[in-house]
Amino acid sequence: MNRVILITASIAIFGLAIGTEVLAQVRTSTSYHIQSDSINTGGGLGTSTNYRQESTVGEVATGVATSTNYNLYAGYQQMQEVYIAVSAASDVTMAPAIVGLVGGEAEGNTYMIATTDSPSGYQMTYKSSLSPAMQNTISTTTIADYSPATTTPDILFSTGINDEHFAFSPYGNDIVDRYKTNGSSCGSGSASTTACWDGLSTTSTTIAQATSPNHPYGATTTIYYKVGVGNNVHHAPGVFTGTYVATTTITVLPL
């Protein structure tokens, strides 16, 4: 009896064409960021069948000034829009196939590159479309989302003889503290390609965040996956062989 595990990572990207105008962060709170402001008096928008005019008398010395070291935008409507983009992650096929009679583990990985010129950086969140994430394609059988032993991810991926679960672990320079390890536990330290293992949820979880721009090179985040099936699981009623698929969503937004 062979159980083949397949992950289809359907990536949905939000915020590729953000219309937020950004030059400098002037106000902030726990609820909002005002990136820039503009105080104008007089003028305004005027249109007719022949023209469109936008003007102000509140700011002078308008226009663009440049040198080898800077670009300066001054005056009415000179603020620039935030640029943010992310490369689409590829689908992942877990390997090797798991033999139901003896159990085992399968693994795989994918990556995406987030690029932004936002002065405040960006945030990347991750969630599954269904709960549990891993669903059999021809039956109602599922594989449970991994459940860490504590409130933080597990530094070791552990599968008991009666366990059947699916976990993920993000890696990259912008990984948040939850997915960093000090060598003995997760929650602080540095990023690792072999830890920290967590379970997916239909509620978005922040996996990466930066507080400064990274354009034009961007930042790479890799997500590692593991499926573990214990050797007693094939005895459980209602467990079917076949292909299991998890559909997940990555969301990247500027801060």
Are 11 and 26 members of one domain? no
**Cα separation of 28 and 1, whole Å?**
58
The per-residue pLDDT for range 216-240, each reduced to its tens digit, is 899 999 999 999 988 877 655 555 6
CA pair distance 232, 212, nearest whole angstrom: 49
3-class secondary structure, 47: strand
Indicate if 145 and 190 belong to the same structural domain. yes
Q: How many residues are given for the chain?
A: 255
Question: Could you read off the pLDDT tens digit of each residue along the chain, which spans 255 residues?
Answer: 334 334 333 333 332 222 333 334 455 666 666 655 555 555 666 777 777 766 665 555 556 667 777 666 666 555 567 888 888 888 888 888 887 667 788 899 999 999 998 888 999 999 999 999 988 888 888 889 999 999 999 999 988 888 889 999 999 999 999 999 998 999 999 988 888 999 999 999 999 999 999 998 999 999 999 999 888 776 555 556 778 889 999 999 988
167 and 132 share one domain: yes
Residues 166 and 184 in one domain: yes
Are 209 and 91 contained in the same domain? Answer: yes
DSSP track, 105-126: EEEEEEEEEEEE--TT-EEEEE
Q: Amino acid letter at 84? A: I
Q: Which residue has the tokens 């978005």?
A: 204
Per-residue pLDDT tens for 123-142? 999 999 999 998 888 888 88
Which residue, of 81, 104, 128, is where some domain finishes?
81
Question: Is residue 25 domain-shared with residue 116, that is, in the same domain?
Answer: no
> Is the same domain home to 67 and 176?
no
Q: Are residues 36 and 133 in the same domain?
A: no
Q: Say which residue the tokens 């976990």 belong to.
A: 167
Q: Say whether both 10 and 75 belong to one domain.
A: no
Report the alpha-carbon distance of residue 157 to residue 134 in Å, rounded.
17
Number of domains in the chain: 2
Pair (6, 122) in one structural domain: yes
> Do 129 and 197 belong to one domain?
yes
- My answer on whether 87 and 11 are in the same domain is yes
Print the domain residue range for 50: 21-81
